[in-house]
């Protein structure tokens, strides 16, 4: 493996709370567990690293109480820039209910100030896999930088885009520019539906196929369908790569685990079907554990695949 997974999304702090159910407006509920950890893009980078990939963080981060948590976590990776000295990192309150569903409320900090000169510090090669997050595209400063930087990447560099839950709020021009340089779009079921609002009750397989023309020529769309697996739409057609049913206790970071392991597998040169199956297995293991960065080590994923 001579390239790297280059992650351009946001690393923030997750304030995690396990609750029986979300409170009604104006109400209150007691949490049964809590945690304060690095989260956001940290989860995807950890997943890629645990699967054996070298990882470089190309995003922005800050200084302050939350920035200290982020900076400490980033020591596990190569980091492109020194961070901002006059702004703290942001954070997200993550509520995980009894069904293992998660709800987020996020405050944006230094990670929303990624500029083109920051990205140009990264010497991307054709052997790298660049990962872009919809959370990064949601911040105007980051969006301007990323949409200017992506078209200038080497032709051979593969770009993986995870649109994230905010995809419906992305400006059409920003989303269109990002998709035009995307080689692999990996979206969960909700995000896939939001990206194809005119298709009514069409199944995910049709929606995935409909998204392909919006990507770079030869692109692949993945529509992740929870424990059922993930639909692949590429030049060979549309097919389902089955998932691994498990008892979920916390779905926080499941998509990040999938994206990180997918990027690591693509970096190794795995065929897309094998890469997706491996990512499905890693995401299944991740949801059996509480916390954000719960992606498995490569050996654990290998055991489940066997």
Instruction: Kindly tell me if the per-residue pLDDT of 119 is higher than 90.
Output: yes
pLDDT of residue 1: 63
Tell me if 268 is assigned to some domain.
yes
Q: Where are the alpha helices (DSSP H) in 8-158?
A: 41-50, 65-74, 116-119, 134-137, 140-149
Asked if 264 contacts 225 with a C-beta cutoff of 8 angstroms, the reply is: no
Instruction: Kindly tell me if the per-residue pLDDT of 291 is higher than 90.
Output: no
DSSP 145-186: HHHHHGGGS-TT-EEEEE--GGGGGS-HHHHHHHHHT-SEEE
pLDDT of residue 100: 84
Nearest to 205 by CA among 219, 175, 225: 225
The SS3 of residue 153 is coil
Range of the domain at 49: 5-9+40-59+112-305
Residue bearing the bigger pLDDT, 293 or 181: 181
Distance CA 227, CA 41 (A): 22
Asked if 22 contacts 95 with a C-beta cutoff of 8 angstroms, the reply is: yes
Distance CA 63, CA 45 (A): 21
Q: pLDDT tens across 220-237, in order?
A: 999 999 889 999 999 999
**CATH number of the domain enclosing 219:** 3.40.1190.20
Tell me if 20 is assigned to some domain.
no
**By percentage, how much of the chain surpasses pLDDT 90?**
91
Average pLDDT, the chain: 95
Distance CA 30, CA 43 (A): 26
Distance CA 128, CA 134 (A): 20
Tell me if 93 is assigned to some domain.
no
Tell me if 30 is assigned to some domain.
no
Tell me if 194 is assigned to some domain.
yes
Distance CA 283, CA 296 (A): 8
Assign 180 a pLDDT band (cuts: 50, 70, 90).
very high
Tell me if 22 is assigned to some domain.
no
pLDDT of residue 282: 97
Tell me if 107 is assigned to some domain.
no
Number of domains composing the chain: 1
Tell me if 252 is assigned to some domain.
yes
pLDDT of residue 52: 97
Distance CA 54, CA 128 (A): 10
* Mean pLDDT of all residues in 19-25: 95
């Amino acid at each position: 493996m001579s390239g790297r997974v280059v992650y351009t999304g946001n690393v923030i702090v997750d304030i995690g709370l396990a609750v029986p159910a979300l409170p009604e407006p104006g109400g209150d509920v007691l949490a049964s567990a809590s945690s304060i950890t690095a989260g956001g893009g940290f989860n995807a980078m950890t997943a890629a690293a645990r699967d054996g990939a070298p990882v470089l963080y190309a995003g922005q981060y800050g200084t302050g109480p939350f920035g200290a948590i982020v900076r400490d976590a980033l020591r596990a990776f190569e980091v492109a820039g020194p961070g901002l000295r006059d702004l703290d990192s942001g954070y997200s309150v993550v509520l995980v209910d009894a069904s293992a569903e998660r709800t987020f409320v996020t405050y944006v900090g230094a990670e929303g100030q990624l500029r083109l000169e920051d990205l140009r510090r990264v010497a991307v090669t054709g052997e790298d896999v660049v990962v872009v997050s919809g959370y990064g595209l949601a911040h105007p400063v980051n969006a301007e930088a990323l949409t200017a930087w992506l078209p200038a990447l080497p032709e051979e560099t593969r770009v993986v885009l995870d649109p994230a839950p905010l995809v419906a709020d992305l400006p059409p021009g920003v989303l269109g520019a990002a998709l035009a340089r995307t080689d692999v779009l990996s979206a969960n079921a909700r995000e896939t539906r939001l990206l194809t609002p005119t298709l009514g009750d069409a199944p995910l397989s049709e929606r995935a196929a409909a998204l392909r023309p919006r990507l770079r020529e030869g692109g692949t769309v993945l529509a992740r369908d929870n424990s059922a697996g993930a639909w692949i739409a590429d030049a060979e057609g549309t097919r389902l790569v089955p998932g691994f049913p498990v008892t979920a206790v916390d779905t926080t970071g499941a998509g990040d685990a999938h994206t990180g392991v997918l990027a690591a597998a693509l970096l190794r040169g795995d065929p897309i079907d094998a890469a997706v199956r491996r990512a499905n297995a890693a995401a299944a293991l991740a949801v059996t554990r509480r916390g954000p960065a719960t992606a498995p080590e490569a050996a654990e994923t290998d055991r489940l695949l066997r």
